[in-house]
Amino acid sequence: MAAEEWQIVWFTTWVSALSTVVILPFGLGAAWLLARCQWPGKSIVETFISLPLVMPPVATGLILLKLLGRRGAIGGFLHDTLNFDVVFTWRGVLIALGVMSFPLLVRSTRVAFEEVNPRLEQIARTLGAGNFRVFLTITLPLSARGIVAGMILAFARALGEFGATIMVAGNIPGKTSTLSLAIFQSVQLGQDADAFRLLGVSVALAFLAVWGSELLLRRKRGLK
Amino acid sequence: MNLLLKQILLPLADFVLEVDVEITSQVTAICGPSGAGKTSLLDLIAGLRRPKSALIRLNDRVLTDTAAGAQVAARHRQIGYVPQDLALFPHLSVHQNLLYGHKVADQTANGQLFSYDHVTEVLEIQSLAERGVNHLSGGEKQRVALARALLTSPRLLLLDEPLANLDGALKARIIPYLTRVREEFRLPMLYVTHDFDEVRELCEHALLLERGRIISGLD
């Protein structure tokens, strides 16, 4: 593989991993609130979080572009006050991947939290633990498998993201080009050999991610 | 002990839990059929549920007073609770379960601090420390759950049908441990059960609860 292709593979992998790490605390917080609390408007928040799953990714990308562009509400503020651009940079890729994979992380994590017997958390409170300690020592370890599964799903979704990324970050070689974007461009240009090489790398990465998580979960369960 | 449960009102699925009683005996049984509201009453005392109205006072400490908007959090109540399903933490060893709420620098109301060695010796669970809780027998689980609650040095111990899931032979083996706990630690207890043999063996006083109301008290 050429140096540019290695750069694309490296960039896609680390930005996908970083987006998963960045959304993790928000995902855990949202999932916990949805699993354990009742409040007015909960179903609206729930629907809003799930929207990127069902909306066309380019539509989500367009919304992000309008918000994060220099003339957008958030992008304009960041540019004017901090001289900080998001659109058409790696940060745009990061945000697009994070937004698109967020619902998968929340769904998987929420189910994992719901599967933890609330009685264990209640009894932990009678033993003197506050909410944060209960979360760290009871809820989190008992839902770890579901959380890891959610992270793998989010990472895999980020690896393959296309529509929102191309809207927010474009396909700038060496700067914002990801595996999906590069495969698409290679096919468009009739460079099928390049496309298939990158396709092979995509399959290998996805396989490694899922296989790695499976090994991790089996080890946690004490299986060989 | 003086446990005041005054004007308790808690709507449940089929009826309203309505209790007005003062408990002064050291070990009191709460008896009644399934679904009578016994566990809900223990949950209220432990601070795990919020009543519509209630004044709950343990000795001189107000735990819940809805009229004054006061509700002491479960973690500050110093009430040990052994629920019916025991709720042992499955991802922790016996030792880690026991240490979860172990107080080493606090004193109970009667100035008594329950030490790890003493509690595990009384309940004969020293040798189980490194085991996972999923590898314990039914009787061992009961004793570990009891020890875990005792190690918080509580001012009151709530036991929700602690022997309900055990067969007759195992029950007969566990009852002496409960008697030892009663004798060794002199701790006030509320003991929920269906079984009048357990009541006779362990309790000084019994309250009969039916559809959320106490219908009689027996010495």
The Cα B146–Cα B181 span in angstroms is 9
Q: Are A128 and B75 in contact (CB under 8 A)?
A: yes
- Smallest CA–CA distance, residue A117 to chain B, in Å, is 9
Question: Which pLDDT score is estimated for B170?
Answer: 81
* Contact assignment for A128 to B47 by CB distance below 8 Å: no
Size of interface A-B (CB pairs under 8 A): 53
* Contact assignment for B103 to A128 by CB distance below 8 Å: yes
Q: How many domains does chain B have?
A: 1
The 8-class DSSP code of residue A85 comes to -
The Cα B147–Cα B97 span in angstroms is 9
Q: For residue A137, give its domain range.
A: 3-37+44-220
Instruction: Write out chain A residues lying below 8 Å of B76, CB-based.
Output: 128
Question: Which pLDDT score is estimated for B164?
Answer: 81
* Contact assignment for B87 to A123 by CB distance below 8 Å: yes
Question: Which pLDDT score is estimated for A222?
Answer: 56
* Contact assignment for B152 to A128 by CB distance below 8 Å: yes
The bridge status of strand B16-23 relative to strand B3-11 is antiparallel
Residue B58 sits at φ, ψ, to 5 deg, of -110, 115
Q: Which residues of A touch B (CB under 8 A)?
A: 117, 119-120, 122-130, 137-138, 141-142
For the beta sheet containing B156-160, the strands, ordered from the edge strand earlier in sequence to the opposite edge, are B70-71, B61-65, B53-58, B3-11, B16-23, B213-218, B205-210, B27-31, B189-193, B156-160, B79-82
Q: Are B156 and B1 in contact (CB under 8 A)?
A: yes
Question: Which pLDDT score is estimated for B109?
Answer: 46
Closest partner CB to B85 (pick from A119, A129, A141): A119
* Contact assignment for A122 to B75 by CB distance below 8 Å: no
The Cα A185–Cα A170 span in angstroms is 12
The Cα A107–Cα A90 span in angstroms is 26
Q: Are A26 and A129 in contact (CB under 8 A)?
A: no
The Cα A174–Cα B139 span in angstroms is 65
* Contact assignment for A123 to B81 by CB distance below 8 Å: yes
**What are the residues facing B9 on neighbouring strands?**
B18, B53
Tokens 């290998």 correspond to what residue?
A204
Query: What ipTM describes this predicted complex?
Result: 0.91
Instruction: Write out chain B residues lying below 8 Å of A130, CB-based.
Output: 75
* Contact assignment for B91 to A141 by CB distance below 8 Å: yes
Q: What is the DSSP string of B43-74?
A: HHHHTSS--SEEEEEETTEEEEEGGGTEE--G
User: Residue B23 is encoded by which pair of tokens?
Assistant: 């408990």
Question: Which pLDDT score is estimated for A224?
Answer: 42
Q: What is the pLDDT along chain B (219 residues), one digit of tens a residue?
A: 899 999 999 999 999 999 999 999 889 999 988 889 999 999 999 999 999 999 999 999 999 999 999 999 999 999 999 999 999 999 999 999 999 998 765 544 455 678 899 999 989 999 999 999 999 998 899 999 999 999 999 999 999 998 887 777 888 888 888 888 888 888 899 999 888 888 888 888 999 999 999 987 776
B103 near A CB under 8 A: yes
The Cα B178–Cα B189 span in angstroms is 11
Question: Which pLDDT score is estimated for B163?
Answer: 85
Q: Are A147 and A112 in contact (CB under 8 A)?
A: yes
In angstroms and rounded to an integer, the radius of gyration of the C-alpha atoms of chain A is 20
Residue B207 sits at φ, ψ, to 5 deg, of -115, 135
CATH number, residue A78? 1.10.3720.10
Positions in chain A whose pLDDT score sits under 70: 217, 219-224
A196's CB contacts (< 8 A; 6+ apart) are: none
How many other C-beta atoms lie within 10 A of the C-beta of residue A222?
Answer: 6
Pick among A127, A135, A136, A221 to test the B interface (most B CBs inside 10 A): A127
The 8-class DSSP code of residue B127 comes to G
The Cα B120–Cα B129 span in angstroms is 9
Q: For residue B31, give its domain range.
A: 3-218
How many other C-beta atoms lie within 10 A of the C-beta of residue A72?
Answer: 18
CATH number, residue B127? 3.40.50.300
**What are the residues facing B71 on neighbouring strands?**
B64
A103-120 CB burial, b ≥16 within 10 A, e <16: bbbbbbbbebbeebeeeb
The Cα A124–Cα B97 span in angstroms is 10
